Amino acid sequence: MATRPKTSEAQIIEQYRIALNNAENQPQIASTMAEFGYDSEEIAKGKQIWQNANNAYNLNKTEDDETNLAHSNFINKKAEVEGFYSLHRKKAKVIFRNDSVTLEKLGIKGSIPQAHVKWIEVVKKFYAITTSDTEIQTKLARLKITPEELNNANTLVGDLETARLEYMREKGESQDATQAKDAALAEIDDWMSEFYAVAKIALEDNIQLLEALGKTIRN
């Protein structure tokens, strides 16, 4: 199948729908095409192939929408966790600036990793320790970091991981749906390509009927 812009997929599917309906329901087109092998049974085959393509296209759209929603949810939750973590990290670095052991223990030495997997590991480590070590909590309280804040942030980290898993699942489903859609469109493209080639021969003396099938003839 020739590559086409995504924006035209809906248009080509609609063009095929109109062409097949007119080939079935417009008496002159139906009778002429039947003489060239495209009788009601053959048109029904084309309509089934079209229906498969239309279903695959709609499913792909749905999966894309769900992926975008899951991605947005993931990004929003990550931004929320980043906000908490950035502030808590800065305060903890001040409080433990002369305590390299605790800095190492909390994983706040050096810069914050940019890659998500390494970043989330660092964040999880920080909150796993701060929510379970009462001595560290007591010291953090000096800069108004409460145990409730730490527990809330730790819960948000769990929510973030769940959101990322959901996004990755939806992304995979969307990719599968895209492959299925592309295959279905390739099949209907191939069927319609031969259909139009025959229609040009069968209806060459009646341009208006050919245009009813979605083909514009230039003089």
pLDDT surpasses 60 at 3: no
CA distance 166 to 160: 10
pLDDT of residue 2: 45
Predicted pLDDT of residue 45:
98
Tell me the C-alpha distance between 96 and 103, whole Å: 6
Sequence-distant contacts of 45-50: CB under 8 A, at least 24 apart: 45/191, 46/20, 46/188, 46/191, 46/192, 46/195, 47/20, 49/187, 49/188, 49/191, 50/13, 50/16, 50/17, 50/20, 50/188
Cβ burial 32-55 (10 Å sphere, 16+ → b, else e): bbbeeebeeebbeebbebbebbbe
pLDDT for 5: 54
pLDDT, tens digit, 9 for 90 and up, residues 150-177: 999 999 999 999 999 999 999 999 999 9
Burial class (CB in 10 A: 0-12, 13-18, 19+), 15: middle
Contact 51, 13 (CB under 8 A): no
pLDDT at 4 over 60: no
Rounded CA-CA distance 199/175 in Å is 35
The continuous run of DSSP H or E covering 183 comes out as helix 147-202
Q: Where do the H-state alpha helices sit in 26-146?
A: 27-35, 40-95, 100-106, 116-130, 134-140
Q: At what angle do helices 40-95 and 116-130 cross, to 10 degrees?
A: 50
Give residue 58's identity as a one-letter amino acid code: N
Q: What is the pTM of this model?
A: 0.83
pLDDT for residue 7 is more than 90: no
CB 125 within 8 A of CB 85: no
Average of per-residue pLDDT across 192-213: 91
CA nearest neighbour of 23 among 213, 215, 214:
213
Quote the mean pLDDT of the chain.
Answer: 93
**pLDDT at 216 (0 to 100):** 66
132-144 confidence digits (pLDDT tens): 999 999 999 999 9
Confidence of residue 147 (pLDDT cuts 50, 70, 90): very high
Q: What is the pLDDT of residues 64-106, one digit of tens each?
A: 999 999 999 999 999 999 999 999 999 999 999 999 999 999 9
Residue 63 banded pLDDT, cuts 50, 70, 90 = very high
What SS3 state is found at 36? coil
Q: Using an 8 Å Cβ cutoff, are 57 and 181 in contact? A: yes
